[in-house]
Structure 1
Amino acid sequence: MFSIGIGPSSSHTVGPMRAALAFAEGLDLDRVHSVTVDLHGSLGATGRGHGSDRAVVLGLLGERPEDVDPDAVEGHLDEIRRTGELHLLGRRAVRFDLDADVRLVARSLPAHPNGMVFTARDAHGAVVAERTSYSVGGGFVKDHPLEPDAPVAGPGPGLPWGFRTGAELLEHCRATGLGVADLVRRNEESIRPAADVDAGLLRVFAAMRACVDHGLVTDGVLPGGLGVRRRAPGLHRQLLAEEGRSGSDVLHAMDWVSLFALAVNEENAAGGRVVTAPTNGAAGIVPAVLHFYRRFVPGADDAGTVRFLLAAGGVGIVLKETGSISGAEVGCQGEVGSASAMAAAGLTEVLGGTPEQVENAAEIAVEHHLGLTCDPVGGLVQIPCIERNAVGATTAIHAARTAMRGDGRHVVSLDTAIATMRQTGAHMRSEYKETSLGGLALTVVGVNVPEC
């Protein structure tokens, strides 16, 4: 559930980059003279603002989301513009026009709103390879054929305590006497050594921390034409100046939570390196709540950080398997709602919550994001996305606190809330699902909205 990539979107940037790379790696390079990419549906509607056009080019060049240098991207694109050529996987030069050979198509493909068609042709114009891929959320990619309601990646065969639903997760916890984090760890350790589990999750946290740290000190205006100024550095300076005299402000800690989320999502909007958790558009929530744990919870340490991420990841599996983490599929309830649920679960775990309380916290967070639309102004992951992460992070903390005050018993289960999310998303008009054709994307006035 946690992968390292670049902004501004996991489904629109990370997924397309991976899909393009997979296409290029499957080519007989000696036969290819030209390549075209058609971005369909939501990718077509907001592809420019979300960097989908740039992402597929980077993937064709052989770049990977976890390794690409964000500062080198413009140089790659300038070279292609200058020469009219793209070096597939860094080796085979083919004819390529950045504007003409990446085409934005409003029509969605039948299987998923985030569809891509890659086509390679020889010197005579004959098709030598074609591949249809779908970016299904969180940077995950599936290839054609994909049925519209087919489940995406499952927990895998042979896991000692595999699960897809919240009910199955709780049943396994009761049967084993394990907490959520411990049960998820058992599954992870059936695949890789325990030391690798810890090291991998601490690398994820290190990437989150680096993203926050960079966002706290980087001033300026975000790219894209909306004129959105970075607020995290100024807020950071304010909070530092108030240190030592903030005792009378009972909500001082929540200001830090908002700051952490803003820092991450401003980095994401600028195309910086972030952790997909579970998406880039919602990438600030889990790090913000995790930083809250590290800064304000007595006794917080690396072991607790690992437990936080294990529990959050376990709930993330349930959300991805039975709900959706794709804004193009169900709206922002699937992105910010899912991230808030994961953060709530992680925090409840490290506060000593029972499995039932962890599940309750995740349910509260999902339930109170139901119906949340995805309506990015100008097709950019800025308004309302950046502030929405700050609100989602504080909601996660409230959800955890509410669950910890109870005994885990509640009327609406996590599975019911997730099923409601999917049903709500199915009834939501496409204008409110990452197309920038409705909501704030249309009603915000007085700003310079770039063409999508």
Structure 2
Amino acid sequence: MRSIRDIYKIGTGPSSSHTMGPARAAVLFRDEHPEADKFQAILYGSLSKTGRGHGTDRALRDAFAPIEAEVIFSEEDPRGLKHPNTLDLIAWREGKELGRIRIESIGGGDIVIEGREEDNQGEETYMENSFAEILQFCQYRYVDLVEYIEMNEGPDIWDYLIGVWHVMTRSVEEGLSRTGELPGGLHIQRKAKYMFEHIVETKHPELVECQKVCSYAYAVSEQNADNGTIVTAPTCGACGVLPAVLYYFKDKRNLSDLDIAHALGVAGLFGELAKRNASVSGAECGCQAEVGVACSMAAAAACQAFGYNIHQIEYAAEVSLEHHLGLTCDPICGLVQVPCIERNAVAAMRAINSANIAYFLTGTRNISYDMVLKSMYYTGLDMNQRYRETAEGGLARIYTRRGK
């Protein structure tokens, strides 16, 4: 399994697979053809259907600048593609083709280059590739997950994750300070600042918790929708869940930056397992692969922060993902706004609830995290294509810019 650094990428929104991945591919291809006087990008599948809403064309032109770049939204049937997020990049010089590559943007900002197997294989950091294997290793050597991570990643992983946490913190705090309308034409107003500033301490503390956690999730997700700087966890579209939970418990539990780094590390393990053994791509497996995995990461992080044992941590992650199975990806007009922002807030609360359930019921469970990952992946493959980030099904089909 690859390093947990792989799951946390710092970049700008709104989409890891539709903007970060294609932009990364464009920079790589541009550097390979410095003599080109024109580039062309042909988008297929989900990249074509929702690329305008996600800003794929903008991201590609920015990456190729100052060289001219033509972006084509292909209507070719995507069923012949290996991955629904596929694009061709072509370099030209004085009207003659210099070269081309086919790229798959597989989620979380990662790309696969067709025909370049060596480039596609990231360095392996962990020998274990399932949670069952991780659990066996930890039990045999009497170590917990934090010790296991440090044994494989080295002690500098915690400094890296503290840096990740600082970016997450800024995204929460900047989001809480902003007002106005999000770009894209849906006339969606930012809500995080209003929600946070109107918290009323009542005799119902659970409502206060909900309002705080949700305002933090809204803050990060609104930053993402407005092309702000965020951290994939595991993707841009699901970037609000994990920081919302940790930002809330940092003060409530008086957690240090190192405590937070440990929680992020444990969360990263579950995210990497999902990326390796299933998917974190909404275009491949629906929103269960994005917000569902984010919820499992946040639940695991909360359990680590609470001092729960390894079985409780796994159970919380499993419960979170299990109850997102079948969740479709249906962004209205291809924008990461509705239902995405609200969905991050709901998932943040579900992560906390899953952690609470795990405290009491871990010994009664029947389903493992590895099992629910397989189930999520097969459910995603069985899901109708319209519900996998095409903006053709679900809410995206019913709602228009006029609200009809």
TM-score > 0.5, shorter chain as reference: yes
Q: Say if 1:182 and 1:322 are closer, same or farther in 2 by CA, change over 3 A.
A: same
Match of 2:138 in 1: 173
| Distance in structure 1 (CA, Å) of the matches to 2:14 and 2:227 | 5
Structure with greater Cα Rg: 1
Query: Per the alignment, in what secondary structure is the counterpart of residue 133 of structure 1?
Result: strand
Q: Are 2:102 and 1:132 equivalent residues in the alignment?
A: yes
Query: Per the alignment, in what secondary structure is the counterpart of residue 435 of structure 1?
Result: coil
Match of 1:68 in 2: none
> How do 1:318-333 residues align onto structure 2 when only pairs under 5 Å count?
318-333=273-288
Residue 248 (structure 1) shift: 4.1
| Distance in structure 1 (CA, Å) of the matches to 2:325 and 2:116 | 26
Counterpart AA for 2:221: N
Contact 1:42 1:106 in 2 (8 A): no
Match of 1:36 in 2: 40
Residue 390 (structure 1) shift: 0.3
Q: TM-score, normalised by structure 2?
A: 0.94
| Distance in structure 2 (CA, Å) of the matches to 1:23 and 1:169 | 37
User: Which string of whole-angstrom CA distances, capped at 9 and with x for unpartnered residues, describes residues 370-428 of structure 1?
Assistant: 00000000110000000000011111111111111234551011111111111111110
Match of 2:311 in 1: 356
| Distance in structure 1 (CA, Å) of the matches to 2:121 and 2:246 | 26
Counterpart AA for 1:219: T
Contiguous gaps of at least 5 residues in structure 2: 1-6
Q: Say if 1:228 and 1:121 are closer, same or farther in 2 by CA, change over 3 A.
A: same
Residue 247 (structure 1) shift: 4.7
Q: Say if 1:295 and 1:117 are closer, same or farther in 2 by CA, change over 3 A.
A: same
Contact 2:315 2:362 in 1 (8 A): no
Q: TM-score, normalised by structure 1?
A: 0.84
Contiguous gaps of at least 5 residues in structure 1: 62-86, 88-93
Residue 181 (structure 1) shift: 2.3
Match of 2:330 in 1: 375
Q: Which structure has greater helix proportion? A: 2
Match of 1:79 in 2: none
| Distance in structure 2 (CA, Å) of the matches to 1:146 and 1:407 | 44
> How do 1:332-343 residues align onto structure 2 when only pairs under 5 Å count?
332-343=287-298
Counterpart AA for 1:134: E
Match of 1:7 in 2: 13
Identity among equivalent positions (%) equals: 38
Residue 175 (structure 1) shift: 1.4
| Distance in structure 2 (CA, Å) of the matches to 1:333 and 1:361 | 16
| Distance in structure 2 (CA, Å) of the matches to 1:170 and 1:60 | 45
| Distance in structure 2 (CA, Å) of the matches to 1:248 and 1:50 | 39
User: What is the root-mean-square deviation in Å for CA atoms of aligned residues?
Assistant: 1.7
Contact 2:39 2:64 in 1 (8 A): no
> How do 1:197-212 residues align onto structure 2 when only pairs under 5 Å count?
197-212=157-172
| Distance in structure 2 (CA, Å) of the matches to 1:170 and 1:56 | 42
Q: State which of 33, 50, 65 in structure 2 corresponds to 1:46.
A: 50
Contact 1:235 1:259 in 2 (8 A): yes
Q: State which of 260, 272, 288 in structure 2 corresponds to 1:305.
A: 260
> How do 1:380-419 residues align onto structure 2 when only pairs under 5 Å count?
380-419=335-374
Q: State which of 163, 185, 188 in structure 2 corresponds to 1:225.
A: 185
Contact 1:215 1:264 in 2 (8 A): yes
Match of 1:429 in 2: 384
Residue 140 (structure 1) shift: 0.5
User: Which string of whole-angstrom CA distances, capped at 9 and with x for unpartnered residues, describes residues 120-141 of structure 1?
Assistant: 1111x22111111111000011
Counterpart AA for 1:312: A
Q: Which runs of 4+ in 1 moved over 2 A?
A: 106-109, 245-251, 406-409, 444-449
